[in-house]
Every structure is written in structure tokens, then in C-alpha cells.
Amino acid sequence: MSIQEFSMPEQSDKLYEEIEQWREENNEDQTDDILVIGIRI
């Protein structure tokens, strides 16, 4: 909900940054696939 005001490309960038930040903080490798679907109304 916190990124809904941004354009779709900006939302994509912000989600990517959030995932990378989580991986760095937790020293985790990505073990599962991640699917995000966006719908513009």
C-alpha cells in the first residue's frame, strides 16, 4: 500500500530495492521464486 502512488516502473524499482535490502540484512540467498502482479485501474 505504501507504494501505490508511484508509477508501475517506480513500484518495480522500489520492490526490487526492498528485496535486496532484506537479503543483505539477513545474509540470505534467494531460494524461492517471487511473483508480483500489478493491475492499473
pLDDT 10s digits, 3-38? 989 999 999 999 999 988 988 888 877 778 889 888
> pTM of this prediction?
0.70
- What letter does residue 6 receive in the DSSP assignment? S
How many secondary structure helices (H) and strands (E) does the chain include?
A: 1, 0
Task: Output the pLDDT for position 15.
Answer: 92
Closest CA to 40 of 20, 16, 10, 14: 10
Task: Output the pLDDT for position 13.
Answer: 95
C-alpha cell at 29: 540467498
pLDDT at 39 over 80: yes
Task: Output the pLDDT for position 7.
Answer: 92
Neighbours of 13 (CB within 10 A): 13
Q: Tell me the C-alpha distance between 38 and 19, whole Å.
A: 17
Task: Output the pLDDT for position 10.
Answer: 95
Q: In sequence order, which ranges of the chain are alpha helices (DSSP H)?
A: 8-26
